């Protein structure tokens, strides 16, 4: 047991280290308590971060969209072509996609029937993602169908589909989507297919980003709506993003709160361990004080013991939390490596910092008590 | 010339309405190079007196002088400084720290003075008390007599003026006790310290320059 020269320069650290080494089981248990606390804080925090990341990914691609539907005070029952022109003029630099919709029932060769919603739109590639490969730029005479629907009906690209007495060739499959952008059992046709309707049901404006989308949304609102007269319902997903963000912040705080309870429990455990160990060593500390070791030096030594437990537990806890984080991101986001970002790694730092602070705080009272014990009383036992 | 002096020192303990005069108007002095042995029956106030001399406790009445300087009214922190620089302690049950080596135990009182490296002096002291081949041993690897010799080396690390020993041979057999007393006698002149020891051990009186008898807190 050779003392390293570095240790000799910081006697309190040397003494604290040796003291912790004396009762390894106790030190290990106190450290374990801290590890559990840190893992609780950090993994709950990271779970929140993973949820937020997933939700943001769901919203991504539509946060820059404005969706315009018929307002509740609109008697026309649809968005007139002139209105669409107005919307176009208000949405400079953005793509404006008017659609019409209807319902129909598709039948498979073996007679199985399936209700689908029909959308009439030219710029289908702006609104939908291809299930495998690119969609045609403009829809002229063909049809698109959600992949799951096609699968259930046994339809393949090239097959004919009938709507309103006319046949369309299935040109491609579009991805079925869940979440904010809901695409399910949908048949997409050129607008002419729904030409019996002159008005549109939905106009989607795709801007460059969320801010621009919001500007366009408020411009359209101002042009068409009065406070008590809603002609067009204008929805921008940038609002949804903001609401989601604030909800996530609340959720994260709640999760962290639950996590910190376990760290508080852990620091009570440290308080107990430090108190027990200083009471056990009372005579020894009395000898230190008798031979001239100052109160501050005794205090520092015991605080450093607590600090070492905190640092050790904090580091181990951060390491375990990283493993848990990899698992969480693998399950929630589908990509374990996504954990390596400040949004989630910050919780490792918080957990570690919390561990160190909590340990030192719970070491304060035992350290103060031991340092201020009169040596005569301590030596008498 | 006396290095430590008690002048009409009294110590009174009041516990639960009962009053004990552990020391009653005690006058005492010790000079460098002499070994004073304090004897008396159990409960007569020997340890209490040693605590006064060792600046571990303050008297209810009277004055304590260290090197002719009155230290009776010093604060606890000032007394700690005085103990560190002028007083060495040897206890009946050694009181070594189990996680430190012999050398580190000897260095202990000066360990926080990072400005001076006492390692060399610690090793020299250990060699002087015959433990040159046990420098890195921990207390549990040493015999009782060897532990007490480590404790004696520790008490001398800061070159004190006074060495206080409360029953230093109390936990040792006759033979080992004798070697410890011979060690103390040698160091008393080598290190020029005043040794005040408390004992029940009859053989200790042979080594004393002066014997002080105390009964019921009064020196006879
Ligand atoms: N902290 C205390 N509180 C109350 N009474 C005390 C205290 N310390 C000592 N006494 C009393 O003072 C008296 C002297 O005690 P002291 O320890 O000095 O005796 P001693 O001579 O060292 O005895 P022994 O030989 O058994 O060690 C005893 O009657 C004891 O009960
Ligand atoms: Mg005694």
**Cα gap A263→A92, rounded to integer Å:** 54
Give the pLDDT band (50/70/90) at residue A245: confident
B148 in ligand 1 pocket by Cβ < 6 Å? no
How far away, in angstroms, is A311 Cα from ligand 2 center? 43
The percent of residues in chain B predicted with pLDDT above 70, rounded, is 100
Query: Per-residue pLDDT for B137 more than 90?
Result: yes
The token pair that represents B204 in the structure block: 């200790």
Classify residue A46 by burial, with Cβ atoms within 10 Å: 0-12, 13-18, 19+.
buried
Would you say the pTM of this structure is higher than 0.90?
A: no
Ligand 1: does its nearest atom lie under 6 Å from the Cβ of B44?
Answer: yes
pLDDT for res B146 = 95
Run of H or E residues at A172? strand A166-174
Alpha-carbon distance A354 to nearest alpha carbon in chain B (angstroms):
30
Give the nearest chain A residue to B57 (CA atoms).
Answer: A376
Radius of gyration of chain A (CA): 33
Q: Does position A1 have pLDDT exceeding 50, yes or no?
A: no
With bands split at pLDDT 50, 70 and 90, how would you rate the model's confidence at A5?
low
Contacts of B165 in chain A (CB under 8 A): none
Q: How far is it, in rounded angstroms, from Cα A261 to Cα A358? A: 11
Closest in A1, A15, A375 to B101, CB measured: A1
Question: Which residues in chain B are contacts of A285 at CB distance < 8 A?
Answer: none
Whether A45 contacts A253, CB under 8 Å: no
| DSSP annotation of A96 | E
Task: Tell me how far apart the alpha carbons of residues A151 and A170 are, in angstroms, rounded to a whole number.
Answer: 13
Please tell me the predicted confidence (pLDDT) of residue B213. Answer: 94
User: Could you write out the DSSP letters of every residue in A217-276?
Assistant: HHHHHHHH-BTTB-SEEEEEHHHHHHHHHHHHHHHHHHHHHHHHHHHHHHHHHHHHHHHH
Which member of B89, B112, B154 has the closest CB to residue A297? Answer: B112
User: With an 8 Å Cβ cutoff, are B112 and A8 in contact?
Assistant: no
Rounded CA-CA distance A187/A174 in Å is: 9
A291 Rama class: left (phi>0) / alpha (psi -120 to 50) / beta: alpha
**Ligand 2 center to residue B47 CA distance, Å?**
4
Expressed in angstroms and rounded, the spacing between residue B166 Cα and the centre of ligand 2 is 7
Angle between helices A282-290 and A295-332 (to 10 degrees): 130
Residue nearest to atom 24 of ligand 1 (CA): B42
Mean pLDDT of chain A: 87
Q: How confident is the model at residue A6 (pLDDT cuts 50, 70, 90)?
A: low
Beta bridge partners of residue B15, listed in sequence order: B18
What do you get for the CA distance between the two ends of chain A, in Å? 30
Domains of chain B: 2-219 (3.40.50.300)
Q: How confident is the model at residue A180 (pLDDT cuts 50, 70, 90)?
A: low
**In whole angstroms, what is the distance from residue A267 CA to residue A358 CA?**
6
Q: Which ligand is nearest to the CA of B10?
A: 1
* Nearest Cα residue to atom 30 of ligand 1: B43
- What local confidence, expressed as pLDDT, does residue A192 receive? 83
Cα–Cα distance for residue pair A96/A196, rounded to 1 Å: 22
| DSSP codes, B189-209 | HHTT-EEEEE---TTHHHH-S
- Mean pLDDT for chain B overall: 93
pLDDT digits (tens, 9 = 90+) for B158-174: 999 999 999 999 888 88
Query: Would you place residue B74 in the very low, low, confident or very high pLDDT band (cuts 50, 70, 90)?
Result: very high
Beta-strand pair A166-174/A142-146:
parallel
Please give the residue of chain B at the shortest CA–CA distance from A298: B112
> In this predicted model, which residue has the larger pLDDT, A286 or A248?
A286
The sheet that has A142-146: what strands, in order across it?
A160-163, A166-174, A142-146, A186-189, A113-120, A95-107, A202-206, A65-70, A232-236
B75 in contact with A, Cβ within 8 Å = no
User: What is the predicted pLDDT for the residue at A171?
Assistant: 87
pLDDT digits (tens, 9 = 90+) for A18-52: 999 988 998 999 999 999 999 999 999 999 889 88
* Residue count of chain A: 381
**Spatial separation of the C-alpha atoms in residues A88 and A76, rounded to whole Å:** 19
Our answer on whether the CB atom of B92 is closer than 6 Å to any ligand 1 atom is no
Atom of ligand 1 nearest to the CA of B217: 14
pLDDT of A334: 85
What's the CA dihedral at A29, A31, A32, A37 to 10 degrees? 130
**pLDDT top residue among A53 and B218:** B218
What pLDDT was estimated at residue B45?
A: 94
The average pLDDT across A229-256 equals: 84
The SS3 call for residue A69 is: strand
A3 has pLDDT over 60: no
CA of B174 vs chain A CAs: smallest distance (Å): 26
Taking residues B73-102, what's their average pLDDT? 94
Q: Which of A152-166, A261-275, B46-60 has the highest mean pLDDT?
A: B46-60
Does B136 sit within 8 Å of A290, measured CB to CB?
no
Identify the residue whose C-alpha is closest to ligand 1 atom 28: B43
The pLDDT value recorded for residue A156 is: 86
């Amino acid at each position: 047991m050779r003392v390293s020269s570095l240790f000799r320069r910081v006697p309190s650290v040397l003494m604290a280290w040796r003291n912790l080494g004396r009762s390894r089981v106790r030190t290990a248990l106190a450290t374990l308590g801290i590890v559990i606390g840190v893992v609780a804080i950090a993994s709950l925090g990271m779970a929140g971060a993973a949820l937020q990341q997933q939700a943001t990914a769901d919203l991504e691609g539509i946060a820059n969209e404005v969706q315009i539907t018929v307002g509740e005070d609109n008697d026309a029952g649809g968005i007139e072509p002139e209105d669409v022109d107005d919307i176009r003029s208000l949405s400079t630099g953005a793509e404006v996609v008017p659609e019409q919709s209807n319902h129909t029932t598709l039948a498979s060769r073996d007679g199985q029937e399936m209700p689908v919603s029909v959308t009439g739109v030219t710029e289908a590639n702006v609104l939908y993602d291809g299930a495998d490969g690119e969609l045609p730029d403009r829809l002229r005479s063909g049809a698109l169908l959600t992949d799951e629907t096609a699968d259930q009906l046994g339809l393949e690209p090239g097959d004919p589909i009938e709507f309103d007495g006319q046949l369309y060739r299935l040109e491609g499959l579009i991805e079925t989507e869940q979440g904010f952008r809901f695409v399910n059992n949908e048949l997409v046709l050129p607008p002419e297919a729904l030409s019996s309707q002159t008005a549109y049901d939905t106009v989607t404006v795709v801007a460059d980003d969320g801010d621009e989308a919001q500007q366009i949304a408020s411009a359209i609102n101002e042009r068409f709506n009065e406070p008590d007269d809603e002609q067009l319902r204008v929805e921008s997903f940038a609002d949804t993003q903001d609401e989601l963000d604030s909800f996530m912040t609340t959720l994260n705080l709640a999760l962290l709160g639950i996590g910190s309870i376990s760290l508080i429990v852990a620091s009570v455990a440290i308080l107990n361990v430090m108190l027990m160990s200083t009471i056990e060593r009372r005579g020894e500390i009395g000898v230190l004080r008798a031979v001239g070791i100052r109160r501050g030096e005794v205090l520092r030594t015991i605080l450093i013991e607590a600090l070492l437990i905190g640092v050790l537990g904090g580091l181990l806890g951060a390491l375990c939390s990283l493993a848990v984080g990899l698992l969480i991101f693998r399950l929630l986001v589908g990509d374990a490596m996504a954990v390596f970002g400040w949004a989630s790694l910050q919780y490792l730092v918080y957990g570690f910092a919390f561990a160190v602070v909590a340990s030192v705080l719970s070491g304060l009272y035992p350290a103060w008590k031991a340092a201020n014990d009169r040596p005569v009383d301590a030596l008498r036992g | 010339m006396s290095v430590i002096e008690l002048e009409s020192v009294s110590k009174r303990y009041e516990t639960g309405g009962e009053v004990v005069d552990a020391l009653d108007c005690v006058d005492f002095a010790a000079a460098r190079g002499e070994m004073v042995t304090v004897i008396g029956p159990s409960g007569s106030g020997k340890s209490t007196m040693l605590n006064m001399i060792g600046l571990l406790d303050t008297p209810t009445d009277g004055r304590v002088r260290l090197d002719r300087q009155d230290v009776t009214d010093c604060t606890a922190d000032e007394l700690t400084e005085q103990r560190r620089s002028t007083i060495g302690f040897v206890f009946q049950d050694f009181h070594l720290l189990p996680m430190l080596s012999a050398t580190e135990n000897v260095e202990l009182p000066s360990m926080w003075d990072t400005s001076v490296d006492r390692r060399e002096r610690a090793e020299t002291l250990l060699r002087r008390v015959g433990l040159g081949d046990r420098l890195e041993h921990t207390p549990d690897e040493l015999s009782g007599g060897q532990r007490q010799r480590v404790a004696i080396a520790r008490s001398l690390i800061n070159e004190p003026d006074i060495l206080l020993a409360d029953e230093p041979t109390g936990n040792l057999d006759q033979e080992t006790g004798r070697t410890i007393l011979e060690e103390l006698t040698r160091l008393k002149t080598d290190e020029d310290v005043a040794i005040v020891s408390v004992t029940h051990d009859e053989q200790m009186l042979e080594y004393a320059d002066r014997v002080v008898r105390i009964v019921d807190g009064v020196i006879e």
